[in-house]
Amino acid sequence: MAGAPPGISGDRKSPVPAGKIANIGGGWRMQVLDVVPDAAAQIKANNEFNDPPPTGSTFMLVKVALGYFGKDDPHPSFEPTISAVGSASVELDNSCGTIPGALDQFADLFAGGVVSGNLCFVVTPGDTVAMYAQGDFTSSSQVFLSVGTGPTGATPLASLQGPQPGATSTPARSAPVALGTATDVGEGWTFTVNSAARDITDQVVAQGSGNAAPPDGYRYIGVDVTFAYNGADSASAFEVGTRAVGAGNRELTGDCGIVPGAVDESSDLFAGGKVTGTICFVAPTGSPGFVLYSNGGLANDTVKFLAVS
């Protein structure tokens, strides 16, 4: 795809150096950004319920950037397999507890999208460790990346902005269904965006003591929607995949806390039933907007794009 970093490959004897971009297959690129060889104290401080590493071992944190640059989008960031191996030639355990700045491995990535964050492995201090990754599950080829030392001044893998030419989603994403239009999203569901997206940051923060302000540089965006069901059996709106994507080509998180007027996604609906309310996303401040994308039912992979402005 135009604009995609070429990436390089590496085997166990000659792994991709930290800071360099690896081509791990299937349109995926990966880069080691930083390494903390002994992060046991850091992980313990992150969550008091985290267990210490086994005797004779410690926790290694590896910050990585993971990007999708293929044309068949979106793809979930858990699709690539990422592991590590030490000098004993046995895959390393990654059971470190709740780690700080963990890599979001559940976000959808569109062509040009990038996520970054930490991975953790249980290691023997001083051991020679390498990560290995595979972006194409149909391939037997594994690409190795060095984590011996952290890179110095590495330029992080950058996302491409906006729908990318030639990507599967681009035509529909660039011409989403208009506001107020009831759209068949499959499995008996129709979905309607009732009004334009709006900033609800102040309302969310004021809603409950458990709600936090959005991260610096972000805001809470509310969208009023209706889910309507006309299937044969009962179902809940929770089964409808409803997400959002902005110019950064990665799925926007919906972790807004308690949202005033939130749509009821848990109640069973029978044929003719509908629920209306607000859904919320965390979006970059000043970003050039985003669109919703939705598919009804857990087994339905047909995605419809809907405008929010």
Confidence grade of residue 179 (pLDDT, cut at 50, 70, 90)? very high
pLDDT in tens, 244-281: 999 999 999 999 999 999 999 999 999 999 999 999 99
**Sequence-ordered strand ranges (E) for the chain:** 21-25, 28-36, 58-68, 75-76, 81-85, 108-109, 113-123, 130-134, 143-146, 183-186, 189-193, 198-199, 218-229, 235-236, 240-246, 268-269, 273-284, 290-296, 304-306
What is the pLDDT, as a whole number, of residue 297?
A: 65
* Angle of CA points 270, 275, 279, to nearest 5°: 135
| Region 27-37 average pLDDT | 95
Confidence grade of residue 180 (pLDDT, cut at 50, 70, 90)? very high
Confidence grade of residue 309 (pLDDT, cut at 50, 70, 90)? confident
| Region 66-88 average pLDDT | 95
Residue type, 254: G
What is the pLDDT, as a whole number, of residue 298?
A: 58
Tokens (6 digits) for 285? 């401040």
- Read out DSSP for 218-240? EEEEEEEEEEEE--SS-EEGGGE
Distances from the Cα of 52 to the Cαs of 35, 163, 175, 292, in angstroms? 19, 44, 51, 42
Name the residue ranges covered by the structural domains of the chain: 21-146, 176-306
Write phi, then psi, for 67 (nearest 5 degrees). -130, 145
pLDDT in tens, 81-139: 999 999 999 999 999 999 999 999 999 999 999 999 999 999 999 999 999 999 987 77
Would you say the CATH fold of 176-306 matches that of 21-146?
yes
**Across all residues in the chain, what is the average pLDDT?**
93
What architecture is domain 21-146?
Sandwich (2.60)
- Range from 46-50, 73-77, 283-287 carrying the lowest mean pLDDT: 283-287
What is the pLDDT, as a whole number, of residue 300?
A: 54
Q: Give pTM, 2 decimals.
A: 0.92
Fold (CATH) for 176-306: Immunoglobulin-like (2.60.40)
